[in-house]
Amino acid sequence: MTDDNDDQLTKMRHTAAHVLAAASTKLKPETKLGIGPATKDGFFHDLDVETNWTENDLKKLEREMEKIKSSDLAITHREVDKDEARKLFAHDPYKLELIEEFEDDAVGVSDMGDGFFVTLCKGGHVASTSKIGHFKLTRLAGVYWRGDTSKPQLQRIYGLLFASKQELAEHQNLLEEATKRDHRKLGQQLDLFTFSPLVGPGLPLFTPRGTVIRDELESWLQSLQVPLGFERVTIPHITKADLYRTSGHWEKFQEHLFTVKGKGDETFVIKPMNCPHHTQIYASQPRSYRDLPLRYSEVTMVYRDEQAGELLGLIRVRSITQDDAHIFCRPDQIKDEVRIVMDIVQSFYKVFDFEMVVHLSIRGSGDVDKYLGDDQIWQEAETQLREALEAVGVSCVVDEGAAAFYGPKIDFVAKDSLKREWQLATIQLDFNMPGRFGLSYIDASGKSQTPVMIHRAILGSVERFMAILLEHYAGALPLWLSPTQVAVLPISDQQLDYAAGIAEQVHSAGIRVELNERGESIGKKIREAETMKVPVMLIVGKKEVEANTVAVRSRVQGDEGGQSIDKVISKLTTTIAERA
Read off the pLDDT of each residue in 355-362 and give the average, rounded to a whole number: 90
Residues 76 and 128 in one domain: yes
| pLDDT at site 2 | 35
Q: What percent of the chain has pLDDT over 70?
A: 98
Distance between CA atoms of residues 247 and 384, nearest Å: 22
Yes or no: say if 177 and 418 are a contact pair by the CB < 8 Å rule.
yes
Read off the pLDDT of each residue in 381-393 and give the average, rounded to a whole number: 86
Residues 457 and 509 in one domain: no
Residues 141 and 206 in one domain: no
Q: Are strands 267-270 and 238-240 parallel, antiparallel or unpaired?
A: antiparallel
| pLDDT at site 369 | 67
Yes or no: say if 320 and 463 are a contact pair by the CB < 8 Å rule.
yes
In a domain, 495, yes or no: yes
Catalytic residue among 11, 318, 326, 553: 326
Residues 487 and 432 in one domain: no
Yes or no: say if 448 and 459 are a contact pair by the CB < 8 Å rule.
no
Residue 275 annotated among the catalytic residues of the structure: yes
Residues 505 and 549 in one domain: yes
Catalytic residue among 95, 214, 304, 525: 304
Catalytic residue among 409, 464, 472, 512: 409
| R_g of the chain, CA atoms, integer Å | 29
Catalytic residue among 275, 411, 430, 512: 275
In a domain, 250, yes or no: no
Residue 553 annotated among the catalytic residues of the structure: no
| pLDDT at site 1 | 30
Q: What is the total residue count of the chain? A: 580
- Using the 3D structure, point to which of 472, 497, 514 is the last residue of a domain: 472
Q: Give the pLDDT band (50/70/90) at residue 484.
A: very high
Residues 317 and 366 in one domain: yes
Catalytic residue among 455, 472, 512, 533: 455
Q: Does residue 513 carry a pLDDT above 90?
A: yes
Distance between CA atoms of residues 550 and 548, nearest Å: 7
Residues 434 and 553 in one domain: no
Beta strand residue intervals within 150-293, DSSP E: 153-162, 193-194, 205-206, 231-232, 238-240, 258-261, 267-270
* pLDDT: which is higher, 353 or 512: 512
Read off the pLDDT of each residue in 491-502 and give the average, rounded to a whole number: 96
Residues 223 and 319 in one domain: yes
| pLDDT at site 3 | 42
| pLDDT at site 103 | 80
* pLDDT: which is higher, 432 or 296: 296
- Using the 3D structure, point to which of 417, 439, 472 is the last residue of a domain: 472
| pLDDT at site 368 | 64
Read off the pLDDT of each residue in 259-288 and give the average, rounded to a whole number: 92
Nearby residues of 413 by Cβ (< 8 Å), 6 or more positions away: 356, 357, 358, 359, 397, 421, 422, 423, 424
Catalytic residue among 155, 225, 322, 428: 322
pLDDT in tens, 410-432: 999 999 988 899 999 999 998 88
Residue 285 annotated among the catalytic residues of the structure: no
Residues 9 and 141 in one domain: yes
Beta-bridge partners for 106: 81
Across the chain, mean pLDDT equals 93
Neighbours of 75 (CB within 10 A): 23
Residue 125 annotated among the catalytic residues of the structure: no
Q: Angle at Cα 386 formed by Cα 357 and Cα 440, nearest 5°?
A: 120
- Using the 3D structure, point to which of 472, 491, 521 is the last residue of a domain: 472
Q: Give the pLDDT band (50/70/90) at residue 269.
A: very high
Residue 304 annotated among the catalytic residues of the structure: yes
Q: Does residue 379 carry a pLDDT above 90?
A: no
> What domain range includes position 165?
3-180
Read off the pLDDT of each residue in 141-150 and give the average, rounded to a whole number: 90
| pLDDT at site 309 | 79
CATH code, domain carrying 126: 3.30.980.10
In a domain, 156, yes or no: yes
Cis amide leading into 227 (omega within 30) = no
Residues 207 and 100 in one domain: no
Number of structural domains in the chain: 3
Going across the sheet that includes 267-270, the strands are 238-240, 267-270, 258-261
Residue 324 annotated among the catalytic residues of the structure: yes
Read off the pLDDT of each residue in 202-229 and give the average, rounded to a whole number: 97
Residue 507 annotated among the catalytic residues of the structure: no
Q: Are strands 42-48 and 153-162 parallel, antiparallel or unpaired?
A: antiparallel
In a domain, 268, yes or no: no
Put simply, whether the predicted model's pTM sits higher than 0.95 gets the answer no
Q: Angle at Cα 225 formed by Cα 219 and Cα 227, nearest 5°?
A: 105
In a domain, 549, yes or no: yes
